[in-house]
Amino acid sequence: MAAYLCPPAVIHGRHTVKTSEIVSEVRDRHPHAAWAPRVESIAASTGIENRGWMLPLESAVAPGGGSALPAAGVGPAREALTGDGFSEQDVDRVITALEAIPAPQTVQERTAPAWAAVQSSGEQAARGALQIAGLDTSDVDCLITSHSTTPALPGLDVALANKLPLRGDVMLLPATQWACVAGTRSLALAADLVAADPDRVVLVVISEALSTTYQPADDTLESLIVRLLFADTAVATVVTGRPRPESMLRLDAAWHHTLPGTQDLHRLETREDGTHFVMDRRGPRAVQETVTAMWEWLRVRYEDDPGSWHPDVLLAHPGGTRVLEYMEQTMPDGWPSGLLEYSRDSYTSGNRGGAAVFDIMRRAYDAGQAPGSRAVLYAAAPGLTATALEGEWL
């Protein structure tokens, strides 16, 4: 397989949103929700105090530009009020009051500014990754992109091809539905591409505005948790088929796993007011099944050396603290503690979705890894599907 990664560029959302601000907003909006008495303890259980968003919290909770009583509804409303015996003066007063009530944001109002931010942050990450790798935009032969919560056609691949700009013959590979697994799966695809042509240069860019799933009107417990979890991040890295002076990690093998019948456990739904991320409480247990399958893949891969092989660093995006704890509890005997240190550190400032593994990898790189250190990268995503990579620090 032998693919070589340069250090990733990581662009965090520039607007810091405190958990206390979210708690205050949902408490004021939903004082009678079943979870209202427990909102502070629920927020504390996430372990997240701050997260970066591409747009401020105010943009997520602001009313839309339209009226709760659109023009098409004025006539029927007036007719109904008149039929109920209201005087013309009273009818006018009610209609005026209804027209003054703002409507919730539409999908367009919510998505358009986020899509603009996804493009600009993605461009910033792409340029940063190329600079780190000592390359220019003209050196790129293939661009792999992912962004899940801001649907657009053309997508981020075409946007970046024009913004950077890239050569006209660059292969563009958009993957807008990889979600949380985008970090590992894009690297697996890049590795296959450079294995076919070692001289190929692949640029991977993942830009996620997960804050667009913040839906103020929802009063379910799952919606509260979604509000608290997500962060916005753009990341990018360069993958080559031959080592470069800037290369930091060699990838040696990839593993993929999909659990049948789990496609409804985590999903995005587009509704009138925008994108909603829906979670089922059975989700963490399903993710745990992919972790168990990954342990088995590694066991078989190193069955000739069962007693001494172990990774020196585990860069894992499992989506939450419960699965991180499960990973620690089920690791093979003899593996050292602290393998998930960088994963936990990244999670304290939010779930970054597909960008998470790159952020975790950057934290490990900045902390310094000894050449020869063995690394395992893992991520699971809605589907329920997972991809892991195994390699060596350079």
Tokens, residue 307: 């007693």
| Distance from C-alpha of 351 to C-alpha of 365, rounded to nearest angstrom | 20
Q: Would you tell me the crossing angle of helices 182-196 and 356-367 to the nearest 10 degrees?
A: 80
Tokens, residue 256: 């993929």
Q: From its phi and psi, is residue 332 left (phi > 0), alpha (psi between -120 and 50) or beta?
A: beta
DSSP for 136-183, written as a single string: -GGG--EEEEE-SSS--SS-HHHHHHHHTTPPTT-EEEE-TT-GGGHH
Alpha helices in the chain (DSSP H): 19-29, 39-45, 57-61, 71-83, 88-100, 107-133, 156-163, 182-196, 221-229, 283-301, 321-330, 341-347, 356-367
> Could you give the 3-state DSSP secondary structure of residue 58?
helix
Radius of gyration of the chain (CA): 24
The answer to whether the CB of 244 falls within 8 A of the CB of 6 is yes
Residue 376: name the closest of 216, 249, 285 by CA. Answer: 249
What pairs with residue 276 in β-bridges? 269
| Distance from C-alpha of 245 to C-alpha of 326, rounded to nearest angstrom | 37
Burial tier of 178 (Cβ tally within 10 Å: 0-12, 13-18, 19+): buried
DSSP for 219-273, written as a single string: -SHHHHHHHHHB-EEEEEEEEESS--TT--EEEEEEEEEE-TT-TTSEEEEEETT
| Distance from C-alpha of 379 to C-alpha of 361, rounded to nearest angstrom | 12
Considering the domain 3-62+105-240, what is its CATH architecture? Answer: 3-Layer(aba) Sandwich (3.40)
User: Which pLDDT does position 128 carry in this prediction?
Assistant: 98
Q: What is the largest CA-CA distance in the chain?
A: 88
> Could you give the 3-state DSSP secondary structure of residue 284?
helix
249-393 to CATH, choices 3.40.47.10, 3.30.420.40, 3.40.190.10, 2.40.50.140:
3.40.47.10
Q: Where are the domains of the chain?
A: 3-62+105-240, 249-393
| Distance from C-alpha of 394 to C-alpha of 234, rounded to nearest angstrom | 25
User: Which pLDDT does position 90 carry in this prediction?
Assistant: 76
pLDDT tens by residue, the chain, 394 residues: 799 999 999 999 999 999 999 999 999 999 999 999 999 999 999 999 999 999 999 998 888 777 766 776 777 777 777 887 888 887 778 777 767 676 778 878 888 999 999 999 999 999 999 999 999 999 999 999 999 988 889 999 999 999 999 999 999 999 988 999 999 999 999 999 999 999 999 999 999 999 999 999 889 898 899 999 999 999 999 999 999 999 999 999 999 999 998 888 788 787 777 778 877 777 778 888 899 999 999 999 988 776 678 999 999 997 778 888 989 999 988 899 999 999 999 999 999 999 999 999 999 999 999 999 999 999 999 888 999 999 999 9
